[in-house]
A and B are shown apart, each in its own frame.
Chain A
Amino acid sequence: MTPEQLIFAALALPLAACVACVVFAKQENLRDGLTLIASIILLVTVVTILQQYQAGAVVEASWWNFSPGIAIAFKIEPLGLVFALVASSLWIATHIYGVGYMRGNKEKKHARFFACFAFAIFATMGIAFSANLLTLFLFYELLTISTYPLVAHKETPEAKAGGRTYLGILMSTSIVFLLTAVVWTYVISGTMDFKPGGILTGKTDAAFMAILLGLFAFGIGKAALMPFHRWLPAAMVAPTPVSALLHAVAVVKAGVFSMLKIGVYVFGVDNLASTGASQWLMWLAAFSILAASLIAMQQDNLKRRLAYSTVSQLSYITLGVALASSMGAIGGGLHIVTHAFGKITLFMCAGAIYVATHKTEISQMRGLGKAMPFTFIAFGIGALSIIGLPPLGGSWSKWLLMVGAADAGQQIMIGVLMVSSALNVAYLLPIFGQAFFDGSAKSDGKGFREGLKEAPLLCVLPPCLTAAGCLVLFFYAGRIEEFLAPIVLGGS
Chain B
Amino acid sequence: MMSVVENHAAILVVLLPLLSAPLAMLFGNRHVAYLLSIASSVASFLLAIYLVLLVKDGSVLSYHIGGWAPPLGIEYRIDAANALVLLIVSAMSVAVLPYARTSIKKEIAEKNHALFYACFMLCFTGLMGVTITGDAFNVFVFLEISSLSTYVLVALGAEKDRRALSAAYDYLVLGTIGATFFVIGLGLIYMATGTLNMVDLSERLATMEGNRTVRSAYAFIVIGMGLKLAIYPLHRWLPGAYTYAPSAVSAFLAATATKVAIYVVVRFMFSVFSIQFGFEQDTLKFIFFPFAIIAMFAASFIAVFQVNVKRLLAYSSVAQIGYMLLGIALFSATGLSASLVHLFNHAVTKGALFLAVGAIIYQTGSPMVAHMAGLGKKMPWTSAAIVVGGLSLIGVPGTVGFVSKWVLLNAALEVGLWPVSLMIVLSSLIAVVYVWKLVELLYLAPAAEDSQVTEAPLSLLVPMWGLVLVTIWFGFNADFTVQVSDMAASSLFSGGFGKEAIIMGTEGRP
Q: Is B429 an interface residue (CB 8 A)?
A: yes
Whether the Cβ atoms of A155 and B436 lie closer than 8 Å is no
A171 to chain B, nearest CB (A): 6
A137 at the interface (CB under 8 A from B): yes
Contacting residue for B483 out of A68, A142, A187, CB 8 A: A68
B356 in contact (CB, < 8 A) = no
How large, as a class, is the contact surface on chain A? 20 to 34
A456 to chain B minimum Cβ distance, whole angstroms, is 29
Q: Cβ of A480: which chain B residues have Cβ within 8 Å of it?
A: none
- Give the segment of A160-168, A224-232, A341-349, A386-394 that binds chain B: A160-168
- Collect the chain B residues with CB atoms within 8 Å of residue A152's CB: 444
Contact across chains for B395 and A175 when beta carbons are under 8 A apart: yes
> Using an 8 Å CB-CB cutoff, how does the interface string of A158-192 with B read, 1 for contact, 0 for none?
00100110011001100110011001101100000
What A residues does B478 contact at CB under 8 A?
66-67
Residues of A within 8 A of B421 (CB): 180, 183-184
Closest chain-A Cβ to B296's Cβ sits at a distance in Å of 14
Q: Is B432 an interface residue (CB 8 A)?
A: yes
Interface residues of B in 58-84 (CB under 8 A from A): none
Q: Does A64 reach chain B (CB closer than 8 Å)?
A: yes
**Residue B286 is within 8 A (CB to CB) of chain A in the complex:** no
Q: Which of B407, B418, B425 contacts A67 (CB 8 A)?
A: B407
| Contact in complex: A68, B432 (CB < 8 Å) | no
Kindly provide the distance from the CB of B303 to the nearest chain A CB, expressed in whole angstroms: 17
Query: A68–B482 contact, CB under 8 A?
Result: yes
Q: With both chains docked as a complex, state the minimum distance between the C-beta of B404 and any C-beta of chain A, in angstroms.
A: 11
The one of A68, A164, A175 in contact with B486, judged by C-beta atoms closer than 8 angstroms, is: A68
- Complex Cα spacing A172 to B422, Å: 12
Please tell me if the beta carbons of B429 and A176 are within 8 angstroms of each other in the complex.
Answer: yes
User: Does B507 lie at the interface of the complex (its beta carbon under 8 Å from any beta carbon of A)?
Assistant: no
Say how far B492's CB is from chain A's closest CB, in angstroms: 18
Asked if B403 lies at the interface with its beta carbon under 8 angstroms from chain A, I say: yes
Set of chain A residues within 8 Å of B406, measured between Cβ atoms: 67, 179, 183
Does B57 sit at the interface, judged by CB under 8 A?
Answer: no
Q: Are B410 and A183 in contact (CB under 8 A)?
A: yes
Q: Looking at the complex, which one of A68, A155, A172, A186 makes contact with B429 (CB distance below 8 Å)?
A: A172
- Across the interface, do B425 and A155 meet the contact criterion of CB distance under 8 Å? no
Are B444 and A183 neighbours in the complex by a CB distance under 8 Å?
Answer: no
Cβ contacts under 8 Å, B410 to chain A: 183, 186-187
> Pick the contact of B477 from A66, A138, A180 — CB < 8 Å?
A66
Q: What is the distance, in angstroms, from B395's C-beta to the closest C-beta of chain A?
A: 7
Q: How far is the CA of A155 from the CA of B377 in the complex (A)?
A: 13
B159 within 8 A of A: no
Residues on the B chain within 8 Å of A149, using CB: 443
Closest chain B residue to A141 by CB distance? B397
A66 vs B481: C-alpha distance in the bound complex, in angstroms? 10
In this complex, what residue of B is CB-closest to A140? B397
Minimal Cβ-Cβ distance residue in A for B439: A148
Q: Does B479 contact A (CB under 8 A)?
A: yes
Q: Are B476 and A172 in contact (CB under 8 A)?
A: no
B482 contacts A67, C-beta separation under 8 Å: yes
Any B CB within 8 A of the CB of A65 = yes
Q: Is A425 an interface residue (CB 8 A)?
A: no
A137 contacts B397, C-beta separation under 8 Å: yes
Task: List residues 277-304 of chain A with CB under 8 A from any CB of chain B.
Answer: none
Task: Establish whether residues B444 and A72, one from each chain, have CB atoms under 8 Å apart when the complex forms.
Answer: no
Question: Contacts A138-B398, A187-B414; is A180 near B409 (CB within 8 Å)?
Answer: yes
A172 with B432, Cβ < 8 A, contacts A160-B444, A186-B410, A187-B414 known: yes
Q: Is the CB of A141 within 8 A of B440?
A: no
Closest to A112 in B: B443
**Complexed CA–CA distance, A446 and B406 (Å):** 62
B413 at the interface (CB under 8 A from A): yes
CA distance A155 to B422 in the complex (A): 34
| Whole-angstrom CA separation of A422 from B350 in the bound complex | 56
Name the distance in Å between A148's Cβ and chain B's nearest Cβ. Answer: 9
Contacts of B191 in A (CB 8 A): none
**Within 8 Å of chain B (Cβ to Cβ): is A9?**
no
Find A171's partner among B398, B414, B432 (CB 8 Å cutoff): B432
Query: From residue B479, how far is it (CB to closest CB) to chain A in Å?
Result: 5
- Alpha-carbon gap, A6 to B391, bound state (A): 30
Please, how many angstroms separate the alpha-carbon atoms of A138 and B391 in the complex?
13
Q: Hey, which bits of chain B sit against chain A, CB under 8 A? A: 391, 394-398, 403, 405-407, 409-410, 413-414, 418, 421-422, 425-426, 428-429, 432, 436, 440, 443-444, 476-479, 482-483, 486
Q: List 18 A-B contacts (CB under 8 A).
A: A64-B477, A66-B403, A66-B477, A66-B478, A66-B479, A67-B406, A67-B407, A137-B397, A155-B444, A167-B436, A175-B432, A179-B425, A180-B409, A180-B418, A183-B406, A183-B421, A184-B418, A187-B414
A residues neighboring B (CB under 8 Å): 64-68, 72, 137-138, 141-142, 145, 149, 152, 155, 160, 163-164, 167-168, 171-172, 175-176, 179-180, 183-184, 186-187
